[in-house]
Amino acid sequence: MKTIDKVNASLNDCIGDLLRKQSDNGSWEFCFEGSSIMTDAYMIILIRTLKWTNEEKLVMALVERIRSKQAPNGSWKVYTDEKESNLSATIEAYFSLLYSGYVTKDDANMLKAERFILDHGGLAKSDWLTKMMLALNGQIKWPTIVKSIPIEIMIIPKWAPINIYNLVGYARAHWIPIIVCSNLDTSVVHEQTPKLSHLPSREEKEEDHRLLDGLKILHHYVKNSVKKLASTPRELQRKAFKNAENYMLDRIEENGTLYSYFSASFFMIYSLMALGYDKDHPIIKNAFWGMKSYLCRNLSGAGDPIFVQNSPSTVWDTALLTGAIINAGVPVHNDAITKAGAYLLSRQHDKYGDWAVNNPDVPPGGWGFSDINTIVPDIDDTTAALRVVTVLAQSDGRYREAWNKGVRWLLSMQNDDGGWSAFEKNTDNYLLSLIPFRYEDRVLFDPSTADLTGRTLYFLGKYTTMSKDSEKIREAIKWLEHHQQEDGSWYGRWGNCYIYGTWAAVTGLKAVGVPSTDPMVGNAVNWLLSIQNRDGGWGESCSSDIRNHYVPLHHSTPSQTAWALDALIASSEKPTPQIEKGIHALTGLMEASDWRTEYPTGAAIPGGYYIHYHSYKYIWPLQTLGNYRNKYGS
C-alpha cells in the first residue's frame, strides 16, 4: 500500500473513532493517568484519616489497582524502564495498603515491599512530597529543613526580593498548606493509623547541615524582614496563618478543590484541620467530593481498574483534538467542530488569578487545563484553544472577541528573556532554591522553556498576521537559539522530553519563517535522524528528565514518533526515506495496544511523576498524519 493510502486510511479510522467518543457537551473526556500511584494512595490515606466509613468500595478498588502495579521484587515503579524502581512510590503504596486495612505487614507482597524499602535507605531517603505525607500522618518527625521555613513568609510583601509569590502557583498551592502544617507540627494519628517505626526515618546529619545552610539564610531574611513591621511577633504570626488560610480559601474552585489539583487539595485538607476546621466542615467535604470526581477508568476493556486523576485534562484534550481534526480535513461547519468550539468558548477565563501578580495590567483571556479550572490559565492550553477559535472566528463575532482577548493575554505573558513559560510571567527568582526541593529550577519556578516558546511561535506564525520581524518573535527566536543543546536538541519541560522540546522548537521556528538551512533547524533535524529506531519510530525514556540528556527507550511510542515526524515534515519540502519509514511505523503504532501505547510521555515532576495521556495516541498521530497529507499528498 502506498504511504498516502495508508495515511488516508489511518486518518479516516482515527477521526471516525474520535467522533464517536465526543461527549454531548462537545468536549472529549479522556483520562489523565499519573505514572505514580500517588493519587490512589493518598485517596486511601485521606479516607482513613477522616474516618469516613462509607467509602469502602472505593478503598477496595484502589487497593486492587495499587496491588496490580507491584513489581515482582515488591517495589513500585514510576515508569516501565525505571531500573531501580521508585522508593517514594513504594513507600506510598506500602503505607496506603496498610492503612486500608485489607492487607497486613506479614503478607508476602508486603514483606517484599518492606525489604525493598529497607535496602534503599528507608523513609529518610524518600522524596520531599512523600516525606510531607509521612509527617502529616505521624510516621516521621517534620524534617528540620521544612520546619525552618517560617510561616511569616506569608506576610512578606510581594515586592520583596524573597516572598511566597516567587514560587510558581502550582508549587505555591502545595507549599502553603505544607508550611502551615510544619509550623504547627501537625500530625493526624488515630487507632487505625499504621506504624512504620520499623523503617529507618532519620536523615544523615551531614545532609541536614548541607541543606540547613540555605534554610538559615531564608529564615534569617524572613525574620529580619518582619521585624520592620509594627506588630508583636505573636500578632505577626497570627496574621501570617490567616493570610495562608485566606490564600487557600480564595483559590478553591467550584468543585471544592484547591487550584484544581488533587494533590494540593490533599495537603489543604490537613492544613485546614490544623487551623481548627472540623473534618466534617463543608469546605473539607466539598474538597473531598471534588477530589473524588477525578476518578477515571481506562475503558479499553472490561474490568479495567479505576484510578484517581490529579487534574483532568478535558480542555487540553478537546482543544488539541479539535484542532487536529480540522487540520485533517473535517469541515469547520461539521456538528462535532461546532459543539467543540462552543465548549471551548465557554471555558475561556474571565477571572484574575495568580498570573496577574507579575502581569497586572492585562485582562483575563486565557484557557486552563481542566474543565473546572477558572483561575489558572496557561500558555499551552491558550494556544491550543486559540488555534480552534481562529478558524471559527472567520464567521462568528463571538469567537473574534474571544480571539482578541486570548491573543492579547498570550502576548502579554512573554517573559523578559524572550521566551514563554507555562503559567506565570518572570517567576525565576533562584534565591528560592534555598527551599530544599529536588529539581527546584523545574518545580518551584516557571522559567521559559523550549516547548512553550516553540508552540507559541507556531501559533503566532500559523494563526496570526503578526510580522515575522516583530520584536516579540525575534526575541523568542533568540531565546531558542541560546537554549539549544550542543547535540541540536532542546529540552522540553512538559513532555518527555528532548524529542518533545525539539519538535516544539523546530515547528515553531519553521512557522515564523526560519529556513531549514538555518543551523538551528539543520542541527535539530540531524539529531532527530540520529536517534530514529530501526522500526522507523522514535522513543525516549523518562530517565532523560532525570539525567538531563537524551536516554533512548529502545522502543517506539506513538506520541514521540509523531513529534519527531512532525518536525521532519515541517523541515523538508519532499518526503524523505526516513519520513516514509516513520509514517509506516506511526500507522502501525496507532493499531497497537500494549505498554508502548501507555508509556508516559507527559512530564510533571522529574523522577517522580509522569503522565500517560489517554488522548495522546489520537492527538499527535492525527496532527502529524494530517500535516503529512496536507504537505505531500495529492
Catalytically active residues are 380
Q: Could you count the other beta carbons within 10 Å of the beta carbon of residue 5?
A: 10
In this structure, the chain runs to a length of: 634
Q: Could you count the other beta carbons within 10 Å of the beta carbon of residue 471?
A: 10
Cα 437 from Cα 441, distance rounded (Å)? 9
Q: What angle do CA 246, 252, 256 make, to 5 degrees?
A: 130
Among 457, 444, 581, 574, CA closest to 514: 457
Side chain identity at residue 238, one-letter code: R
Cα–Cα distances (Å) from 219 to 181, 185, 335, 478, in that order, read 17, 17, 58, 38
Three-state secondary structure string covering 386-421: HHHHHHHCCCCHHHHHHHHHHHHHHHHCCCCCCCCC
Cα–Cα distances (Å) from 225 to 135, 145, 153, 183, 433, in that order, read 29, 20, 9, 18, 19
Cα 255 from Cα 262, distance rounded (Å)? 11
Cα–Cα distances (Å) from 432 to 51, 178, 291, 580, in that order, read 37, 16, 30, 48
The two beta strands, 32-34 and 602-605, are: unpaired
> Which residue reads 539549544 in cell numbers?
484
Question: Which long-range contacts link 359-364 to residues 24+ away (Cβ below 8 Å)?
Answer: 359/412, 359/413, 359/424, 359/425, 361/412, 362/408, 362/409, 362/412, 363/405, 363/408, 363/409, 364/405, 364/409
Instruction: Give the 3-state secondary structure of residue 142.
Output: coil
Cα 529 from Cα 531, distance rounded (Å)? 5
Among 583, 497, 275, CA closest to 267: 275
Q: What angle do CA 548, 552, 553 make, to 5 degrees?
A: 120
- Note the Cα 206 to chain centre separation in Å: 33
Write out the H or E segment, with its range, that includes residue 18.
helix 3-21
- DSSP letter assigned to residue 139: S
Among 442, 446, 445, CA closest to 422: 446
Cβ contact 585:535 at 8 Å: yes
Cβ contact 149:435 at 8 Å: yes
Q: What angle do CA 336, 339, 345 make, to 5 degrees?
A: 135
- Note the Cα 408 to chain centre separation in Å: 25
R_g of the chain computed on alpha carbons:
24
Among 32, 57, 33, CA closest to 47: 57
Cα 602 from Cα 369, distance rounded (Å)? 14
Cβ contact 533:555 at 8 Å: yes
Cα 502 from Cα 504, distance rounded (Å)? 5
Side chain identity at residue 54, one-letter code: N
> Which residue reads 486565557 in cell numbers?
366
Cβ contact 392:332 at 8 Å: yes
